[in-house]
A and B are shown apart, each in its own frame.
Chain A
């Protein structure tokens, strides 16, 4: 409120705080300035790191830097105050993904979809679950924590869910650039379904791994709530979005809708990502003339909200543990090997012939933004646990690494570098 600074007496050691924060402020402004400078953008483009995931790296580092003790811009209190941004970001991502799901198009899935997904995603999932149990178990053992704990299973399941999915990104399309359009479409459909599986996996996790609460319900009842709440909120949101509004009002309403839905889900300790995804599925399949307007607004603000989300996620990230980095390398390698092995099995079992480039694109497919959202959501639901932090590091760093790998693969395969992205 205006003038509140007047009554806020300087905190203890204010002069030190001022110096530190001014240094931090200068560093952040310089970083932001450089991030927006055309020369830096051209350099990013030349290095092939200008995809949304990779372009988010500076924002993640910005959060990490701002939280650093020597900088001190983001104190514990401030980070706590910024947590709502994470819920908003998760809700936004969920709604964007959900609004892409047209139920009437599910009948056009490529032949052999269930086998490709069952084995192509199932095998990496199983392999990553095994890696997760072993590595996180070792971490617990080294930290003197009990080895046989349901938390270990939960963390390993999360790692496997987030690490197994493929994403329909520009990089994937680049890797499969030489194949025909129908195959490219099928590839996009398959990876989109992969993301849905990841979301449903998180939904199951949050229903069955819950803290005790004032609502004493069995876990399966929470599963019903996970699917029932989006139906109720979806109807309210449907009514809201049908109200005539100017463009400015539409933005305010959309922000309100996402914050409300995500906040409601998180307040009940459900996944904001999953609930907003399900609301998005309902909204896109309900009748009305709002679909394009909402979709356009969602996409227009998606990158900004995602970057802000990464700044706060960066502030929550503790990358100092070696376990997370080791897990990251194992995740990326296991995922590649498992997807390669799964491919060998799948294409022998089904009666469909895909070009080699498309099959290889599926193997090297990047993690994308959704796994990052999955682990951030899990961090919010199960805060302050060492295993969760290792999973966080592994998936965040793994997402960036997988993006670099697919870019390198595309270059080696002779594909034209992707032009600089306008977020």
Chain B
């Protein structure tokens, strides 16, 4: 039945693509159709892959790839572009989720491991990747003609770009598997911190590379720009966290729609003001979780909207993958993917050993660093705009690496979580949280608010929770009676 539905959906999309109104006016219908198609096809593809013991997340990406320009070309480019607002909100919600999960108190014992793994795997991995790219540069046409010093500087910059991780994939897999334990907590901490580290390293490396190529802006300007982006995002994030906490405390009843609107507005403002929405909402989430008593309430409010957001977000990511790049740069891309994996797994193992981290962290933390998505793509685009033709060709290689990692890395990290025995571990604890939260606030949800219908866990109150039956369907949605 799932395959029949998928074929029928593809047929409808192909029919709709053959229709064009001659007035050429944009009415937004292609984006609505794209959202609907991606939601449904990602769901069914995820379900198909689940039956093959693969992550649903990979199914979402595959559904997007199938619809993208490289394969069936079912979604016009402008429709995908118009979904950027949706992805902006998705990133904000994902970051807020990650932030509210970063309870620093229980994470304190893991901080040493997080620090060492970040240093050795992430920073060491970026350097190692840069050196590897420099080593294979004679076989990379866009690098082979550069002089030695700029070639080295550019290779190091590309190494930083390719070392980026994906907090979004890590959070999504953790939710999909209802996982909890030292491994998933440590990995979440690492990828969040690594995000900051990679951004900083990229700024530094690209500034040096530009100066060696004779095309850099002044270091002072660059430093001011990056300071604004990092510190400004964190400062605004703390402010937004305070606003959200005040709202949650003062206005009784569900807050989902308010959070959604705030995410949208802040994502828009952030884009225009060069603030990073990921950092901003991460800071907001961490503030609410660690400095207020509203963390659980916010977490439940966001979780209600998780599945549709994730389905579209990852399907759009899949649709934007350039498979054609793999045909040209497949071999070097594969070599980089394998080197990156080796560096991360080895670096994480050594770092975790030095920090005397638990055995599961030593063995599997490196796999959590493999997923790659938005940040790497964004940095690749940044290279393209900063380095012209040279950057464009490097970006093509980066896109190939990201494409492979998007397909393979979630499978690897899922395997690691299952092997570590942390899949499904969030269920019991979260059910307990739900019971206590609901018992403490029995009348709140009954009170009216214009934001009421997006009640925390409200439209989704009765899901049976297990890592096998309900993707992204975490335990907090289970009713006490279950």
Contact = CB atoms under 8 A, between A and B. Distances in A.
A235 to B, nearest CB: 8
Interface in B371-389: 373-375, 377-379, 381-382, 385
Given A4-B91, A260-B9, A267 B29 contact: yes
Contact of B317 (A1, A36, A37, A264): A1
A410 to B, nearest CB: 21
B95 interface: yes
Given A246-B470, A251-B307, A87 B273 contact: no
Interface stretch (B146-154, B251-259, B355-363, B422-430): B251-259
Contacts of A36: 247, 251, 253, 258, 449-451
Contact of A264 (B16, B28, B279): B16
Contact of A248 (B168, B454, B472): B472
Interface residues of B, number: 110
Contact of B18 (A35, A214, A263, A383): A214
A3 interface: yes
Interface stretch (B133-141, B264-272, B328-336): B264-272
Given A29-B262, A73-B269, A212-B21, A6 B33 contact: no
A106 B392 CA distance: 64
A18 B258 contact: no
B208 interface: no
Interface in B447-474: 447-454, 458-464, 469-473
A213 interface: yes
A143 interface: no
B104 interface: no
Interface in B127-169: 164, 166-168
A243 B3 CA distance: 12
Contact of B199 (A6, A28, A214, A252): A6
A307 B257 contact: yes
Nearest to A299: B453
A274 to B, nearest CB: 14
Closest 4 CB pairs of A and B: A83-B28, A1-B374, A263-B33, A260-B36
Interface stretch (A74-82, A130-138, A357-365): A74-82
Given A243-B2, A248-B470, A73 B307 contact: no
B299 interface: no
Contacts of A243: 1-2, 5
A252 B229 contact: no
Nearest to B458: A300
B19 A214 contact: yes
Interface string A299-330: 01111100110010000000000000000000
A53 B378 CA distance: 42
Interface in A137-189: none
Contacts of B199: 3, 6
A53 to B, nearest CB: 13
A216 to B, nearest CB: 10
B35 interface: yes
Contacts of B373: 1-2
A257 B35 CA distance: 10
Interface of B: 1-2, 4-5, 8-9, 12, 16, 18-23, 25-37, 39-40, 43, 82-88, 91, 94-95, 164, 166-168, 195, 199, 202, 229, 233, 243, 247, 250-253, 257-258, 261-262, 265-266, 268-280, 306-308, 311, 317, 373-375, 377-379, 381-382, 385, 446-454, 458-464, 469-473, 477
Nearest to B376: A3
10 contacts: A1-B373, A4-B88, A18-B269, A29-B262, A32-B450, A81-B85, A83-B31, A211-B22, A246-B469, A248-B477
A381 interface: yes
Q: Find the residue from A232, A266, A311, A421 having the highest chain B CB count within 10 A.
A: A266
A291 to B, nearest CB: 17
A81 B86 CA distance: 8
Contacts of B5: 236, 239-240, 243
Given A73-B268, A214-B18, A2 B374 contact: yes
Given A81-B83, A247-B461, A257-B40, 6 more contacts: A2-B375, A2-B378, A5-B233, A81-B82, A211-B22, A211-B25
Q: Find the residue from B83, B272, B277 having the highest chain A CB count within 10 A.
A: B272
A355 interface: no
